[in-house]
A and B are shown apart, each in its own frame.
Chain A
Amino acid sequence: MIETLLEVRDLSITFRAEGRETRAVDGVSLTIARGETLALVGESGSGKSLTALATVKLLPDTAEVAGSVTWRGREMIGADARTLRDIRGNDISFVFQEPMTSLNPLHTIEKQIGESLALHQGLTGMAARERIVELLTKVGIRDPETRLGAWPHQLSGGQRQRVMIAMALANKPELLIADEPTTALDVTIQAQILALLAELRRAEGLSMLFITHDLGIVRRVADRVAVMQAGRIVETGPVAQVFDRPEHPYTRKLLAAEPKGRATPPDDGAEPLLTGERVRVWFPIKRGFFKRTVGHIKAVTDIDLTLNRGETLGVVGESGSGKTTLALGLMRLIPAGGRISFLGREIHDLRGRGLRALRRDMQIVFQDPYGSLSPRMSVAEIIAEGLGVHGLREPGLTAREAVARQMQEVGLDPAMMDRYPHEFSGGQRQRIAIARAMILKPEFVVLDEPTSALDMTVQTQIVDLLRDLQRRYRLGYLFISHDLRVVRAMAHRMIVMRAGEVVESGTADEVFERPRTEYARALMAAAFNLEAVEGAVAD
């Protein structure tokens, strides 16, 4: 009989605000045995993280908790602060999603790891230092002795996440709760971290509660899986069984939600829409009293590209590789060098009015649907803003009619046009952002990670919508993403960027099926098989 470590029974979490009651978690039951990894899967807002936080009572004060959570037979709900402190960080440890904000920027990593050692084990001085070096070695930080005095900002995202894991492991916990630990990381780093977690689990006999929205990860790391929807667990069972024979319709929907299909090539011959020659965005580094330029941050260096009408050019690469900078440079939203021609016209030296007139033909959709809509404007105002600027008004069509038609086109109910962005879900907001770009009837649209902030099922819908609009209006897309699966579904041709330069380019089929460079091969392996390729990518 395997020992049950954590048992959650009929857990409900309710929030009360302004007289309304929101039940975020509703009657959740789950168990985790020693050495087992349970994956908790669901879309954003399904209550995954709240369930995990409730196990050690880390919920906000406004939450009302009912049900029972037992840790090795000890009841956690209603336990006193001392018991909870003993268990937190000692028996149960957490790794959070955002490695940028979960380390204190004002302390060295030695101090941050040492803090919990001193707190729970009373280890200080040399003994603590030895243990810290041991931990850092274990999580794969090279030359740990020299890294002890490093500050968080001197580490890369992957290294920070490794430090977080070292902190979590400091007191030899029995259960590690990992809340989307790889979501904020690049695919290659994600693969490395997953490999590290699997290795630690084998070596230490750790149990894990792994929270994620990514089914690919679940299949790789978990023994059992629990699928959450709107605060309830709708299906639970061994990974193989749930993936091969899903019983609940929602599970089936999730499994089917991977963006599928390939971009259909445009019918007529290639007609260049936008070409860039030796496009370069360098930010000068200025020093001294006279602000002499002493060097450059080379964000984008000498990139040649061509985008045809009705085609999608996928731009992939890790964060910081200059994808977004390239797009902003091409749109002339930031100063860029090189030659850019658009619709047969040279635009790299346009300014003022000429540039403003250009805006109606080139549009951009941003990644974050929460940040890209002004919270103080109604949807109708947001969508109609561009119309007013360019004086585009079809005869016999009021602005509201134009907005209504556009909303219908992107799959929104025009009756909602007087609402404010906060009343919409992430997917709906992204549709609003798309409507805002499309109402000007542009020729060229930059899609800057338009699906990254969305849930899987919504991603597919947005991809379908974008493909549909492209077919209908022969739009040229510059599609930026780090998610190669979405790029595979959207792009006709693509370029792979690294450190501001193109490392590989070609048709999507070529690059995906027969990557020529080692870097592209590592990227594909990490994205599709979650495999870390040693040596190809530094963390």
Chain B
Amino acid sequence: MEAPAPAIPAPARGLFTLSPLNRRRVRNFRANRRALWSLRLFGVLFLLSLCAELIANDRPILIRFQGALLSPLMTDYPETFFGGDFETAAVYSDPVVQCLIRTGGNIEGCLDQADGLGPAPVAEGQAKGWILWPLIPFSYSTVDYEVATAPSSPDARHWLGTDDQARDVLARVIYGFRLSVLFGFGVTALSAMIGVLAGAAQGFFGGWVDLTFQRVEEVWSSMNTLYVILIISSVLAPNLWVMFFIFVAFGWTAIIGVVRAEFLRARNFEYVQAARALGVGDWRIMVRHLLPNAMVATLTLLPFMLTASIGLLAGLDFLGFGLGQGYPSLGELALQGKKYLQDPHLAITAFLTFAIMLSLMVFVFEGVRDAFDPRKTFR
């Protein structure tokens, strides 16, 4: 007997439709107002810092020179391009270069103007040019030679003052925020990935795989990260990538414990047994049946890994073993705050930056974790 063809509902799942479980999670997260507002605020700050080059830079965003629109942000122009004398890249903070752009290359007039002989006229046959500056006309490494004594206090030119090398503090905070956050996210993501893989393999296969890996990890994680960094930085020049890999190399063990425990627990669940009885392969069982269980435990640990790596990076910078010169480091700002107690704007800025950045992240992740917790109810 052939049954009549059953009615089959159309597959309800598009790319962006969430499963009911995830919809519940989003709803739970949104119910947590502190987490929601922290996420919004953090999102805005992070987006702004991603466009740091457009906000704080010592190069103009756009200039109009001799009727053409140019973007010094994208291209390097030598000073000679604007009719100047030097063949090096144009220094846009130099009044002569600014004058050249505005007058369309009237070099004599501009030199006269620099000597105080009145404003330079626009060169013959040329349109008057203009310069569109970013909000803060300094990059994180721009040394402002106008500053008489560094560090200088906040004023109209430098809203948060300058540090001891006459660099704009606000510009350094914006770039430093971006660097810290990206560094933290990158380290956390990569070490979590490695840690989940290692923990999953240990928990799933158990036995001697588990034993061997555990011993290796114990030895590995009992090494002192700080010493290793000191040793490595005496051999290699410490740059961003070296630091990144050292952090990942010592960060991935943090998450193994919970993932391993979740896999150990769940591998004897009946639905895993059922999948095995269906003949599903080990890899697919791990990805489809076990990993979703381990994700919640992983999520609770991620914020700690994130804040720890940001904190450690700043701490190393503070001690002078971090990224070193050439990076917009918040740790270095904190160090200057300690050195120049008579200029409290440095210490206060460093403190507030860290406090706001880390608190926002902790609030957001707290909300995420609660939203994933099936036992938590929200009103």
Chain A contact residues, CB within 8 Å of chain B = 17-18, 331, 333, 356-360, 362-364, 366-368, 371-374, 376-378, 385-386, 389-390, 400-401, 404-405, 407-409, 414-415, 417-418, 420, 433, 436, 440
Which of B11, B20, B271, B273 has most A Cβ within 10 Å?
Answer: B271
* B275 close to A404 (CB less than 8 A): no
Interface centre among B21, B271, B278 (most CB of A within 10 A): B278
A-binding segment of B1-9, B217-225, B297-305, B358-366: B1-9
Residues of B within 8 A of A (CB): 3, 6-9, 11-13, 19-21, 269-271, 273-281, 284, 288-289, 292, 377
**Bound-complex Cα distance A374 to B291 (A):** 12
B277 contact from A363, A376, A378, A401, Cβ within 8 A: A363
**Once bound together, how far apart are the Cα atoms of A360 and B280, in whole Å?**
10
A110 to chain B, nearest CB (A): 33
**When the two chains form their complex, are residues B288 and A377 in contact, meaning their CB atoms are under 8 A apart?**
yes
Q: Nearest B residue to A472 by beta-carbon distance? A: B1
Contact check, A405 vs B21: say whether CB atoms are below 8 A apart: no
B11:A418 contact, CB within 8 angstroms: yes
| Listed A/B pairs (10) with beta-carbon separation below 8 Å | A358-B279, A366-B273, A372-B270, A372-B271, A385-B288, A389-B281, A400-B11, A405-B6, A436-B278, A440-B278
Question: Roughly how many angstroms separate A417 CA and B7 CA in the complex, as a whole number?
Answer: 11
In Å, the complex CA distance between A407 and B279 comes to 21
Using known A-B contacts A17-B377, A418-B11, A420-B19, determine if residue A356 contacts B270 with beta carbons closer than 8 Å: no
* Complex CA distance for A373 and B288, rounded to whole angstroms: 12
Nearest CB of chain A from residue B270's CB, rounded to whole Å: 4
A359 touches B277 (CB 8 A): yes
Interface contacts beyond A371-B269, A389-B280: sample of 16 additional A-B pairs, CB < 8 Å, sorted by A:
A333-B277, A358-B279, A366-B270, A372-B271, A372-B274, A373-B271, A376-B292, A377-B288, A389-B284, A390-B279, A407-B6, A414-B6, A418-B9, A418-B11, A420-B20, A440-B278
- Nearest-Cβ distance from residue A538 to partner chain B, whole angstroms: 29
Contact: A415 with B7, CB < 8 Å? yes
Complex Cα distance, B277 from A358, in Å, reads 10
The 3 closest A-B pairs by CB, nearest first: A359-B279, A372-B270, A386-B278
Shortest Cβ distance from B378 into A: residue: A18
Asked whether A374 and B280 contact (CB < 8 A) given A400-B11, A414-B8, A417-B9, the answer is no
Q: Smallest Cβ distance from B89 to chain A, in angstroms?
A: 56
| Contact status A371-B271, CB under 8 Å | yes
Cα A67 to Cα B20 with chains together (Å)? 37
Of the candidates B3, B19, B20, B274, which one forms a contact with A433 in the assembled complex, judged by CB atoms under 8 Å apart? B274
Distance A400 CA – B20 CA, assembled complex (angstroms):
20
Residues of A within 8 Å of B278, CB to CB, are: 359, 363, 385-386, 389, 436, 440
Given contacts A359-B279, A376-B292, contact A408 B6 (CB under 8 A): yes
CA distance A433 to B19 in the complex (A): 21
Give B308 Cβ to nearest chain A Cβ, in Å: 29
- With contacts A17-B377, A372-B271, A376-B21 taken as known, whether A404 is within 8 angstroms of B276 at the C-beta atoms is no
List residues of chain A with CB within 8 A of the CB of B280.
Answer: 385-386, 389
Which partner residue on chain A sits nearest B289 by CB separation?
A: A374
Q: Which residues of A sit under 8 angstroms from B13, Cβ to Cβ? A: 418
Complex interface: chain A residues within 8 A of B281 (CB): 356, 389
Q: Determine how close the nearest CB of chain B comes to the CB of A371; give it in whole angstroms.
A: 4
Determine how close the nearest CB of chain B comes to the CB of A498; give it in whole angstroms. 25
CA distance in complex: A498, B284 (Å): 37
Which residues of B lie under 8 Å from residue A368 when comparing CB positions?
A: 270
Residues of B close to A407: CB separation below 8 A: 6
Residues of A within 8 A of B288 (CB): 374, 377, 385
Question: Which residues of chain A come closer than 8 Å to B269, judged between CB atoms?
Answer: 371
Among B8, B13, B281, residue most surrounded by chain A Cβ atoms (within 10 Å): B8
- Residue in B7, B21, B270, B284 whose CB lies within 8 Å of A371: B270
Query: Bound complex: CA of A420 vs CA of B6, how far in Å?
Result: 20
The CA of A520 and the CA of B274, in the complex, are separated in Å by 32
A130 to B83, CA, bound (A): 110
Residues on A with C-beta less than 8 A from B284 are: 389
A376 CA / B269 CA spacing, docked (Å):
14
Are the C-beta atoms of B273 and A333 separated by less than 8 Å? yes
| Chain A residues closer than 8 Å to B8, beta-carbon distance | 400-401, 404, 414, 417
**CA–CA, A333 and B279, complex, Å:** 10
Cβ–Cβ < 8 Å partners of A366 in chain B: 270, 273-274
Chain B residue at minimal CB-CB distance from A360: B279
A288 to B377, CA, bound (A): 48
Within 8 Å CB of A405, what residues of B? 3, 6
Contact A378 B6 (CB under 8 A): no
Q: When the two chains form their complex, are residues B19 and A364 in contact, meaning their CB atoms are under 8 A apart?
A: no
The chain B residue with its CB closest to the CB of A361 is: B279
Chain B residues closer than 8 Å to A362, beta-carbon distance: 277
| CA–CA, A363 and B274, complex, Å | 8
